[in-house]
């Protein structure tokens, strides 16, 4: 059985006091209706990682960072290493998000190095892939996503791949309110499994957790989660309020 996950990507939102309020409220909700079947992860900004990890201790909710640097340590002003992230209590890291690809010019090679350093330091990875609107309109979705998966995961062992989940996030659906239809998402998720089978073997395609991300809301979560190859969601906007994030968690509990 593949692990099912609901993860919240807070992006550049929430001061520390706002972060505390959000996770306290989330914790209260989850204590009232416990999460039995799924893994829940929150990914606050670096500045709130330690505080959030502390508040969530014993709640079952895990914590992740949104990025990391590709070297162990050194003179890299402003950057954050895998070890620093681990020292906050976080267990996960998001790598390859389309906003990092777009605003910080992260390419496949860099993303591969980031995944490598994360795994070396025993951080689990949420590896994001997805095509832009122009790429979809030019019928390039499979070429783009296939290439991202291939280069991002190149040469990893089965053991390493067990520590990775993929998030398919069509760029045109992120923050736009335009969700991919469950069928559109399902088609790409099934394709990602085929690519993994071709690159590695069919145990990898079958066992990989693949999340959908891009305007997931309480209203559309259930329809997406019902697709056979969708194993949960990476949630942006809707994770910034405890109520809507919790409703998405409940949708996952209902479906899986």
CA distance 216 to 237: 8
Question: What's the closest the beta carbon of residue 175 comes to ligand PGA, in angstroms?
Answer: 4
- The residue sitting closest to ligand PGA, measured at its beta carbon, is 236
Nearest to 130 by CA among 184, 179, 169: 169
Known catalytic residue: 253?
A: no
Q: Is 242 in the site for ligand PGA (CB under 6 A)?
A: no
Q: Which of 55, 82, 153, 174 binds ligand PGA (CB under 6 A)?
A: 174
CA distance 70 to 48: 21
Task: Considering only the stretches 26-34, 45-53, 202-210, 230-238, report the one whose residues sit in contact with ligand PGA under the rule CB under 6 A.
Answer: 230-238
Number of residues binding to ligand PGA, judged by CB under 6 A: 13
Q: Would you say 38 or 244 has its CB closer to ligand PGA?
A: 244
| Per-position DSSP letters for 71-132, written without gaps between them | SSSSS-TT---HHHHHHTT--EEEES-HHHHHHS---HHHHHHHHHHHHHTT-EEEEEE---
Q: Is 9 in the site for ligand PGA (CB under 6 A)?
A: yes
Check 99, 106, 131, 169 and give the catalytic one.
169
CA distance 50 to 72: 20
Q: Which of 169, 229, 231, 253 binds ligand PGA (CB under 6 A)?
A: 169
Question: What's the closest the beta carbon of residue 37 comes to ligand PGA, in angstroms?
Answer: 22
Q: Is 234 in the site for ligand PGA (CB under 6 A)?
A: yes
140 burial via Cβ count (<10 Å: 0-12, 13-18, 19+):
middle
Segment holding 235, helix H or strand E? strand 232-235
Task: Considering only the stretches 22-30, 142-150, 168-176, 180-188, report the one whose residues sit in contact with ligand PGA under the rule CB under 6 A.
Answer: 168-176
Q: Tell me whether strands 5-9 and 39-43 are parallel, antiparallel or unpaired.
A: parallel
Q: Which of 67, 88, 215, 227 binds ligand PGA (CB under 6 A)?
A: 215
Close Cβ partners of 156 (under 8 Å, ≥ 6 residues apart) = 115, 119, 164
Q: Tell me whether strands 62-65 and 39-43 are parallel, antiparallel or unpaired.
A: parallel
Q: Is 214 in the site for ligand PGA (CB under 6 A)?
A: yes
Task: Considering only the stretches 68-76, 148-156, 167-175, 183-191, report the one whose residues sit in contact with ligand PGA under the rule CB under 6 A.
Answer: 167-175
Task: Considering only the stretches 13-21, 116-124, 169-177, 218-226, report the one whose residues sit in contact with ligand PGA under the rule CB under 6 A.
Answer: 169-177
C-beta neighbour count of 175 within 10 angstroms: 13
Known catalytic residue: 169?
A: yes
Q: Are 59 and 30 contacting, i.e. CB atoms less than 8 angstroms apart?
A: yes
Q: Is 216 in the site for ligand PGA (CB under 6 A)?
A: yes
Question: What's the closest the beta carbon of residue 173 comes to ligand PGA, in angstroms?
Answer: 6
By CB under 6 A, name the binding residues for ligand PGA.
9, 169, 174-175, 213-216, 234-238
Catalytic residue IDs: 97, 169
């Amino acid at each position: 059985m593949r692990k099912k996950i609901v993860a919240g990507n807070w992006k550049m939102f929430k001061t520390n006091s706002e972060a505390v309020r959000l996770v306290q409220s989330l914790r209260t909700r989850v204590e009232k209706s416990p999460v039995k079947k799924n893994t829940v992860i929150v990914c606050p900004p670096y500045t709130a990682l330690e505080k959030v990890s502390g508040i969530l201790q014993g709640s079952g909710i895990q914590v992740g960072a949104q990025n990391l640097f590709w070297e162990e340590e050194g003179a890299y002003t402003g950057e954050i290493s895998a070890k620093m992230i681990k020292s906050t209590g976080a267990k996960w890291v998001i790598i390859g998000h389309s906003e990092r690809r777009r605003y910080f010019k992260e390419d496949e090679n860099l993303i591969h190095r980031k995944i490598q350093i994360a795994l070396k330091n025993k951080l689990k990875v949420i590896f994001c892939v997805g095509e832009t609107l122009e790429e979809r309109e030019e019928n390039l979705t499979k070429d783009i996503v296939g290439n991202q998966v291939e280069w991002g995961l190149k040469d990893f062992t089965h053991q390493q791949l067990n520590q990775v989940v993929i998030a398919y996030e069509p760029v045109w659906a992120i923050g736009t309110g335009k969700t991919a239809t469950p069928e559109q998402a399902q088609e790409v998720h099934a394709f990602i499994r085929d690519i993994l089978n071709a690159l590695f073997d069919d145990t990898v395609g079958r066992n990989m957790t693949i999340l959908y991300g891009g305007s997931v809301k309480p209203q559309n979560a259930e329809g997406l989660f019902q697709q056979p190859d969708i194993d949960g969601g990476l949630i942006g906007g809707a994770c910034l309020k405890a109520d809507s994030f919790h409703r998405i968690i409940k949708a996952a509990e209902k479906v899986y």
